[in-house]
Amino acid sequence: MGSNTSKGVEVAQAAASEPVVATGGATGAATAAKPKCKACCACPETKRARDQCMVERGEENCTALIEAHKQCMRDAGFNI
């Protein structure tokens, strides 16, 4: 009984751990596409760098990293 549900969870976790790949340079196409994961799980590299910078230096000194994370989120299909 429990094996069927655990297999579904494993598949969901595997799908969530796959990297999100942008398909094309047009921003219109990226915003029309549905995101493949939740916002909290998208762009972990830029999110980590942005958060660390904001803690150490403050938001006003991290605008480049903030914008890089926003662009990554847009490329992943989020409307930011």
- Binding-site residue numbers for Cu cation are 40-41
What's the CA gap between 37 and 15, in Å, rounded? Answer: 9
- Binding-site residue numbers are 40-41
What's the CA gap between 62 and 60, in Å, rounded? Answer: 6
What's the CA gap between 35 and 20, in Å, rounded? Answer: 9
